[in-house]
């Protein structure tokens, strides 16, 4: 297969490219600079440009690009960057695909469980409506921006990803060094639910969505059973054999992180109902095995 990928330099994108190459597939990695290596193609999401030659002849497109939600404090300017990087990029990809005479049959578009907002201890699956708040509104616009591809008859899938357990980035990329140093602990009350997924299962699920021609619409890419932050903290301590005595009070998080603290302290108890119904089998469904797999 020949698969076009945006966001190929990110945490999930790099793992996906490695997995595809290991199985003999070819990738076209879209970059914002001038292409400098075989298998690269140019795009400029802000200008709405995607090199059509990079899309032609592809069997699928996996669109993962977007500014990191936790990379900076949420100033008005950075919130705009979070939104624009997703909405403008998705719209550019969708329009470019719709304009092709023979487009790839499937677009798997990144999204997030932030779509549901703060759900407290209430479980939600893909049938739940959008929540409220900044990230929920971004996810709604993000998915809506793919409309040109869907209207052109391209099978369009939304991968609503949770917190990815991996050492190279995201929440766990920050947590592993702290816990190894014995400085890990719960955040706020620790009662908020975290919908996590191992990096292995994230990649396997994306490939499952590409390979299964009957699947379209939203899919939660999260482990079967979300856990509370307190439970995740305890698991990290057990696996790394480190104490977890520290707790970061909610007021301190709000002071340091500003509006971003709402995401850290918010609770999302998302379950992958449609993914399980489609026949996907998790290799690392539990938190301890996900952590061990990431460390390995």
Q: Using one digit for the tens of pLDDT, what is the confidence trace for 111-161?
A: 999 999 999 999 999 999 999 999 999 999 999 999 999 999 999 999 999
Question: Into how many domains does the chain fold?
Answer: 1
- Residue 31 falls inside a structural domain: yes
Return d(Cα 163, Cα 223) in angstroms, integer: 10
What residue has token string 């449609």? Answer: 274
| 43-49 mean pLDDT | 95
- Residue 240 falls inside a structural domain: no
Q: What is the DSSP string of 254-287?
A: HHHHGGGHHHHH----B--HHHHHTT---S--SH
pLDDT at 183: 83
- Residue 60 falls inside a structural domain: yes
- Does the pLDDT at position 194 exceed 80? yes
Q: Within 13 Å, how many C-alpha atoms sit on residue 97's CB side? A: 33
- Residue 239 falls inside a structural domain: no
- Residue 17 falls inside a structural domain: yes
Bigger pLDDT: 251 or 227?
227
Q: What tokens appear for 195 in the block?
A: 């919908």
- Does the pLDDT at position 196 exceed 90? yes
DSSP class of residue 153? Answer: T
Please report how the helices 199-211 and 11-22 are oriented relative to each other, as an axis angle in degrees rounded to 10: 60
- Does the pLDDT at position 256 exceed 70? no
Share of the chain above pLDDT 70, in %: 96
- Does the pLDDT at position 253 exceed 90? no
Identify the domain containing residue 143 by its residue range. 2-165+196-222+269-285
pLDDT at 26: 97
- Residue 101 falls inside a structural domain: yes
- pLDDT digits 0-9 by tens, 156-190: 999 999 999 998 888 888 788 888 888 888 888 89
- Residue 45 falls inside a structural domain: yes
Any residues with CB less than 8 A from the CB of 161 and at least 6 apart, and which?
12, 110, 111, 112, 113, 197, 202, 221, 222
CATH number at residue 11: 3.40.50.720
Alpha helices, DSSP H, located in the chain: 11-22, 52-55, 76-98, 134-144, 147-151, 170-180, 199-211, 229-240, 250-257, 261-265, 273-277, 287-295
- Residue 20 falls inside a structural domain: yes
């Amino acid at each position: 297969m020949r698969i076009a990928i945006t966001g190929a330099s990110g945490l999930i994108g790099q793992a996906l490219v490695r997995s595809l190459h290991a199985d003999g597939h070819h990738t076209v990695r879209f970059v914002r600079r001038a292409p400098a290596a075989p298998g690269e193609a140019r795009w400029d999401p802000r200008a709405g440009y995607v090199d059509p030659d990079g899309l032609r002849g592809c069997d699928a497109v996996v669109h993962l690009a977007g500014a990191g939600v936790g990379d900076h404090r949420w100033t008005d300017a950075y919130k705009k960057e979070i939104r624009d990087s997703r909405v403008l990029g998705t719209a550019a990809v969708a329009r470019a695909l719709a304009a092709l005479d023979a487009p790839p049959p499937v677009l798997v578009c990144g999204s997030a469980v932030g779509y549901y907002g703060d759900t407290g201890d209430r479980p939600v699956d893909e049938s739940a409506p959008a929540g409220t708040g900044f990230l929920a509104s971004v996810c709604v616009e993000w998915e809506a921006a793919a409309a040109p591809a869907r209207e052109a008859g391209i099978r369009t899938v939304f991968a609503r990803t949770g917190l990815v357990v991996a050492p190279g980035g995201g929440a766990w990329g920050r947590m592993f060094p702290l816990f190894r140093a014995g400085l890990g602990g719960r955040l706020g009350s620790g009662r908020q639910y975290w919908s996590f997924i191992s990096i292995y299962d994230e990649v396997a699920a994306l490939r499952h969505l590409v390979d299964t021609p009957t699947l379209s619409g939203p899919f939660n890419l999260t482990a079967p059973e979300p856990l509370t932050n307190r439970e995740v903290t305890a698991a990290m301590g057990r696996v790394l054999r480190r104490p977890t005595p520290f707790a970061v009070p909610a007021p301190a998080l709000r002071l340091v992180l500003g509006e971003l603290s709402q995401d850290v302290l918010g609770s999302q108890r998302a379950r992958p109902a449609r993914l399980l119904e489609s026949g996907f089998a998790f290799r690392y469904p539990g938190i301890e095995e996900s952590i061990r797999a990431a460390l390995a």
